[in-house]
Protein backbone atom coordinates (compact mmCIF):
# COMPACT_ATOMS: atom_id res chain seq x y z
CA UNK A 1 0.00 0.00 0.00
CA UNK A 2 1.33 3.43 -0.96
CA UNK A 3 0.46 6.71 0.72
CA UNK A 4 0.47 10.21 -0.73
CA UNK A 5 -0.14 13.24 1.47
CA UNK A 6 -1.93 16.21 -0.10
CA UNK A 7 -1.34 19.41 1.85
CA UNK A 8 -4.53 21.15 0.76
CA UNK A 9 -8.00 21.58 2.20
CA UNK A 10 -9.71 19.40 -0.40
CA UNK A 11 -13.37 18.42 -0.28
CA UNK A 12 -13.75 17.06 -3.83
CA UNK A 13 -11.84 14.27 -5.56
CA UNK A 14 -12.18 12.38 -8.84
CA UNK A 15 -10.05 9.93 -10.81
CA UNK A 16 -9.29 11.13 -14.32
CA UNK A 17 -10.89 9.24 -17.20
CA UNK A 18 -8.44 6.95 -18.99
CA UNK A 19 -5.49 7.84 -16.74
CA UNK A 20 -4.90 5.32 -13.96
CA UNK A 21 -2.39 7.48 -12.05
CA UNK A 22 -4.04 10.86 -12.41
CA UNK A 23 -6.70 12.55 -10.29
CA UNK A 24 -8.13 15.99 -9.57
CA UNK A 25 -8.92 17.74 -6.29
CA UNK A 26 -10.82 20.87 -5.31
CA UNK A 27 -11.78 22.53 -2.09
CA UNK A 28 -12.10 25.52 0.19
CA UNK A 29 -9.47 27.58 -1.65
CA UNK A 30 -11.81 27.72 -4.72
CA UNK A 31 -9.10 26.04 -6.83
CA UNK A 32 -8.91 22.82 -8.85
CA UNK A 33 -5.62 20.92 -9.03
CA UNK A 34 -4.66 18.14 -11.43
CA UNK A 35 -2.36 15.50 -9.92
CA UNK A 36 -0.08 12.95 -11.57
CA UNK A 37 1.24 10.13 -9.41
CA UNK A 38 4.87 9.23 -10.07
CA UNK A 39 6.07 5.72 -10.91
CA UNK A 40 7.27 5.19 -7.33
CA UNK A 41 3.60 5.49 -6.20
CA UNK A 42 4.60 7.57 -3.16
CA UNK A 43 4.97 11.02 -4.71
CA UNK A 44 2.90 13.18 -7.03
CA UNK A 45 3.14 16.43 -8.93
CA UNK A 46 0.24 18.84 -9.32
CA UNK A 47 -0.74 21.89 -11.28
CA UNK A 48 -3.57 24.35 -10.63
CA UNK A 49 -6.02 24.65 -13.50
CA UNK A 50 -7.19 28.04 -14.73
CA UNK A 51 -10.73 27.44 -13.50
CA UNK A 52 -12.17 30.43 -11.67
CA UNK A 53 -14.65 29.68 -8.88
CA UNK A 54 -15.63 32.25 -6.25
CA UNK A 55 -16.58 29.71 -3.56
CA UNK A 56 -15.56 26.23 -2.45
CA UNK A 57 -15.40 23.45 -5.03
CA UNK A 58 -17.87 20.77 -3.88
CA UNK A 59 -17.78 18.14 -6.62
CA UNK A 60 -15.59 17.04 -9.54
CA UNK A 61 -16.40 14.69 -12.41
CA UNK A 62 -14.14 13.37 -15.16
CA UNK A 63 -15.97 12.69 -18.45
CA UNK A 64 -15.25 11.85 -22.07
CA UNK A 65 -17.66 13.03 -24.75
CA UNK A 66 -15.85 14.39 -27.81
CA UNK A 67 -12.67 14.75 -25.73
CA UNK A 68 -11.46 14.28 -22.16
CA UNK A 69 -12.98 16.88 -19.86
CA UNK A 70 -13.24 17.72 -16.16
CA UNK A 71 -16.36 19.28 -14.64
CA UNK A 72 -15.94 21.28 -11.42
CA UNK A 73 -19.04 22.28 -9.43
CA UNK A 74 -19.08 24.88 -6.69
CA UNK A 75 -21.31 26.56 -4.14
CA UNK A 76 -21.02 29.63 -6.40
CA UNK A 77 -23.73 27.88 -8.53
CA UNK A 78 -21.39 27.29 -11.48
CA UNK A 79 -20.15 24.07 -13.05
CA UNK A 80 -17.16 24.77 -15.30
CA UNK A 81 -16.25 22.28 -18.04
CA UNK A 82 -12.48 22.13 -18.55
CA UNK A 83 -11.11 20.57 -21.74
CA UNK A 84 -7.82 18.81 -21.01
CA UNK A 85 -6.45 18.96 -24.56
CA UNK A 86 -6.99 22.70 -25.10
CA UNK A 87 -6.45 23.51 -21.38
CA UNK A 88 -9.36 25.92 -21.10
CA UNK A 89 -12.94 26.20 -19.88
CA UNK A 90 -15.10 25.40 -22.91
CA UNK A 91 -18.52 25.78 -21.26
CA UNK A 92 -20.12 26.79 -17.97
CA UNK A 93 -23.37 25.41 -16.59
CA UNK A 94 -25.03 28.14 -14.51
CA UNK A 95 -27.36 26.68 -11.90
CA UNK A 96 -29.77 28.75 -9.83
CA UNK A 97 -28.54 27.17 -6.57
CA UNK A 98 -25.41 25.75 -4.98
CA UNK A 99 -24.28 22.51 -6.66
CA UNK A 100 -23.57 19.67 -4.23
CA UNK A 101 -22.83 16.64 -6.45
CA UNK A 102 -22.22 15.61 -10.07
CA UNK A 103 -23.12 12.26 -11.65
CA UNK A 104 -22.37 10.67 -15.00
CA UNK A 105 -25.42 9.59 -16.95
CA UNK A 106 -26.07 7.09 -19.72
CA UNK A 107 -25.30 9.84 -22.25
CA UNK A 108 -21.74 11.26 -22.31
CA UNK A 109 -22.97 14.80 -23.09
CA UNK A 110 -25.37 14.90 -20.12
CA UNK A 111 -24.57 15.29 -16.42
CA UNK A 112 -26.89 15.01 -13.43
CA UNK A 113 -26.54 17.70 -10.76
CA UNK A 114 -27.73 17.66 -7.16
CA UNK A 115 -28.50 21.23 -6.12
CA UNK A 116 -29.74 23.23 -3.12
CA UNK A 117 -33.47 23.44 -3.83
CA UNK A 118 -36.57 22.53 -1.79
CA UNK A 119 -38.68 21.19 -4.69
CA UNK A 120 -36.34 20.56 -7.63
CA UNK A 121 -33.23 19.02 -6.11
CA UNK A 122 -31.98 17.38 -9.30
CA UNK A 123 -31.09 18.64 -12.77
CA UNK A 124 -29.97 16.83 -15.91
CA UNK A 125 -27.86 19.20 -17.95
CA UNK A 126 -26.91 18.81 -21.60
CA UNK A 127 -23.51 20.47 -21.84
CA UNK A 128 -23.26 20.65 -25.62
CA UNK A 129 -23.01 24.24 -26.81
CA UNK A 130 -26.34 24.12 -28.66
CA UNK A 131 -28.45 21.56 -26.79
CA UNK A 132 -31.98 20.66 -27.91
CA UNK A 133 -33.18 20.58 -24.30
CA UNK A 134 -30.59 22.22 -22.02
CA UNK A 135 -31.99 21.20 -18.62
CA UNK A 136 -34.52 18.83 -17.04
CA UNK A 137 -35.44 19.51 -13.40
CA UNK A 138 -37.16 17.15 -10.98
CA UNK A 139 -37.49 16.40 -7.28
CA UNK A 140 -40.04 16.43 -4.45
CA UNK A 141 -41.24 18.99 -1.85
CA UNK A 142 -39.21 19.12 1.37
CA UNK A 143 -38.81 21.65 4.17
CA UNK A 144 -35.00 21.72 3.96
CA UNK A 145 -32.51 21.39 1.14
CA UNK A 146 -30.54 18.16 1.03
CA UNK A 147 -27.18 19.72 1.82
CA UNK A 148 -23.78 18.44 0.76
CA UNK A 149 -24.03 15.34 2.95
CA UNK A 150 -26.92 13.65 1.14
CA UNK A 151 -25.80 11.95 -2.07
CA UNK A 152 -27.70 9.86 -4.61
CA UNK A 153 -26.62 7.43 -7.33
CA UNK A 154 -27.35 6.90 -11.04
CA UNK A 155 -27.60 3.59 -12.94
CA UNK A 156 -28.82 3.13 -16.50
CA UNK A 157 -31.93 5.37 -16.60
CA UNK A 158 -32.57 5.29 -12.85
CA UNK A 159 -31.59 7.86 -10.23
CA UNK A 160 -32.04 7.13 -6.53
CA UNK A 161 -31.59 9.42 -3.56
CA UNK A 162 -32.33 9.29 0.15
CA UNK A 163 -33.93 11.98 2.29
CA UNK A 164 -33.99 13.35 5.81
CA UNK A 165 -37.08 11.26 6.70
CA UNK A 166 -35.52 7.87 5.91
CA UNK A 167 -37.20 7.49 2.52
CA UNK A 168 -35.48 6.44 -0.72
CA UNK A 169 -36.99 7.81 -3.91
CA UNK A 170 -36.17 6.44 -7.36
CA UNK A 171 -36.87 8.25 -10.63
CA UNK A 172 -36.82 6.89 -14.15
CA UNK A 173 -35.03 9.77 -15.89
CA UNK A 174 -36.99 9.10 -19.08
CA UNK A 175 -40.15 10.19 -17.19
CA UNK A 176 -39.34 12.55 -14.34
CA UNK A 177 -42.85 13.78 -13.47
CA UNK A 178 -42.90 11.65 -10.29
CA UNK A 179 -40.74 9.03 -8.56
CA UNK A 180 -41.37 5.51 -9.86
CA UNK A 181 -40.64 4.09 -6.41
CA UNK A 182 -40.80 5.34 -2.80
CA UNK A 183 -39.40 3.16 -0.02
CA UNK A 184 -39.41 4.13 3.64
CA UNK A 185 -36.47 2.02 4.78
CA UNK A 186 -35.04 3.86 7.81
CA UNK A 187 -37.93 5.80 9.37
CA UNK A 188 -36.82 9.03 11.02
CA UNK A 189 -33.19 8.55 9.99
CA UNK A 190 -31.44 10.92 7.60
CA UNK A 191 -30.11 8.87 4.68
CA UNK A 192 -26.77 10.33 3.65
CA UNK A 193 -25.93 8.07 0.70
CA UNK A 194 -27.54 5.58 -1.65
CA UNK A 195 -25.58 3.25 -3.95
CA UNK A 196 -26.80 0.85 -6.64
CA UNK A 197 -25.60 -2.75 -6.75
CA UNK A 198 -26.58 -5.24 -9.46
CA UNK A 199 -29.82 -6.15 -7.68
CA UNK A 200 -30.27 -3.82 -4.69
CA UNK A 201 -29.88 -0.32 -3.34
CA UNK A 202 -27.63 0.10 -0.32
CA UNK A 203 -28.62 3.00 1.94
CA UNK A 204 -26.51 4.47 4.72
CA UNK A 205 -27.97 6.66 7.47
CA UNK A 206 -26.31 9.49 9.38
CA UNK A 207 -25.87 7.06 12.31
CA UNK A 208 -24.07 4.52 10.08
CA UNK A 209 -27.05 2.20 9.81
CA UNK A 210 -27.17 0.26 6.54
CA UNK A 211 -30.10 -1.32 4.77
CA UNK A 212 -30.58 -3.23 1.50
CA UNK A 213 -33.55 -2.41 -0.72
CA UNK A 214 -34.35 -4.76 -3.66
CA UNK A 215 -34.26 -3.03 -7.00
CA UNK A 216 -34.98 -4.71 -10.36
Encode pLDDT of 71-96 as tens digits: 999 999 999 999 999 999 999 999 98
pLDDT band at 5 (very low <50, low <70, confident <90, very high): low
Average pLDDT over residues 6-11: 68
Poorest-pLDDT segment among 31-45, 100-114, 152-166: 31-45
Residue 200: count other Cβ atoms within 10 Å of its Cβ.
Answer: 14
CATH 2.40.10.480 fits 149-216, yes or no: yes
Res. 33: pLDDT tops 90: yes
CATH number of the domain at 1-146, out of 2.60.40.1930, 3.30.70.1060, 2.130.10.10, 1.10.8.60? Answer: 2.130.10.10
Res. 42: pLDDT tops 80: no
The confidence score (pLDDT) of residue 2 equals: 56
CA distances from 203 to 86, 121, 125, 152 (A): 40, 19, 26, 10
Residue 119: count other Cβ atoms within 10 Å of its Cβ.
Answer: 10
| Domain locations along the chain | 1-146, 149-216
Amino acid sequence: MSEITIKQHSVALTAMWGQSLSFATGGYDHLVHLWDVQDDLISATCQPLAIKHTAQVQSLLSIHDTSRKLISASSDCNAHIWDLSSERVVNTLKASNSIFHLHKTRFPHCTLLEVAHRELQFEIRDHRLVPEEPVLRFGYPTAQTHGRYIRGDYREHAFACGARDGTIRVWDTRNIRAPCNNTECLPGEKIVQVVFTSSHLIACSIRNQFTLVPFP
